[in-house]
Structure 1
């Protein structure tokens, strides 16, 4: 007697085979998070003082400039481009902002800070407009266009500064770069944006700071860039342009205008990184972002963005920046030669590329 076709169940899939494949696919997507956790556990064991609230706050503050530099670059990488000029746009921004703030010495502090920020934004918009026009409208390859802008920004920064750092002696400025959102003293209690009342002299050593302002800045900026990429039409256009520009153009997406805005956004992000550098170090340096440009691209790659475009997230860039910051901090605590940081970060970049290739091959 033949089986009733209506009661026959379809061929079953072996759950025992599916489950490992699913776990491997999940691990390949979350490898950077898992690697970050492994780094924290490792350094907590071998590096005395690493697993400490104040050290973690220092890691967050130290990665601020790198992360802000990478936020705008994330948009460029997703669009299948590259911006080589961000490091020296950051340096030019820091020098120009510092010169403006230096020239306003004696004015109220809010005026000085606002003027420095305005100059930084102006530098970022100008550099981004040049990059955007070259890449989007003149069809110059991003590598060549931004390499030219890099050289121009580098030269202008050194001409303005004369070579040495541009220092600012304005009282109170350092708080905005190195201060905390909240302070606590065992006797005076908790205070916001300033030391508790009545605390002075030797008692200042007993004050504990929480939530560095540099971390507050990057939380705000990361939230904005994350919203822009993940929740707006512009963000969807960025993915579309990076994934398949011809299809995006046929779908009615303004290809040139989208690319132009991407490069303006990237340079503006780099300029903001330069301004944060000024706040943190009370001055600007022409080569402030020289080494950070490649580190920012590394953070994006570690965070899961594809260098071929069409894939990436702000959250991934944050994780990538944390990986780099934790490696640097842990090696410093262990007393290892700082040059080994480049070796460690390079090894992680290679690992990120291999994981990305493996994902494309086994989990398309």
Structure 2
């Protein structure tokens, strides 16, 4: 027998009777009752919904029922945890233009039940800022001017488009071939002036070669002082590279070649800007045996100390890294190193340890596991 859909936190009363083979009904049974209980369900929200790297986020508990909750346990997907009901958290390093983290909230009630809710948070890098200056500051007519790029971007800058505000020969069609280091850059897409139809791109990702062109099919030609095409790349890693333009052809409305002057070899260096905030990052490997490395980043110069504690809160090892300038200390040649020994050179036991970074007024702590 179905009772239909029942409401939460509601008292229901019921009684029964039966009908025999002669269609005679019995008397009703004694009345009894029961109360429906709201199921334990973990849930949460976060804001902003599209956070940028370094932007503080607010996580808000929305679990039901709110009464009877005895603990909250947050895991932010990159090693950070929190036990507050409504914590704040900041993601400090995304390795790509965007990076997704799985955030899990586990809630326990006083009746012994628990529930976990997991949501994905996508962190975006800060937008680049275009800046430049020129010399001489007050040029004369006909004098050569040198323009210097001073733009800022966390992930490194991979393309520049200069417009000098003066007209030139209109462009009816173009074609060029570009070579790049496929280990440092990944080609994403090509965008063309709206008046043109694309010819390509023909792409060889393994060799890092792109053949691209466009042709204007309408009566309008593209002003050569503007942007004809834009290629978008994503950095794979920090490093040096050289962009090689094998050839570039521009033709006008009479299908005559337009004279061009280009740098056929364009050296570039892909490297991050100074960190926006100091941070203590997850050690690697973790768990570890017998040694591990502790990466970090500094948004201002300071003396840096790493303190390692056991589960009892006792200081096990003090690592004085000395004065460090602003920057990233990520790989094994720059990160802090712990050989799994205490201050007197004895190997410590397996177990959970906490490592703390002290840099000026900044302090952060994380945990790691030594497993033998």
TM-score, normalisation: structure 1: 0.18
Structure number having the greater strand percentage = 2
Structure number having the greater helix percentage = 1
Structure with higher RCO (Cα < 8 A, 6+ apart): 1
If you compute each CA radius of gyration, which structure gives the higher value, 1 or 2? 2
TM-score, normalisation: structure 2: 0.18
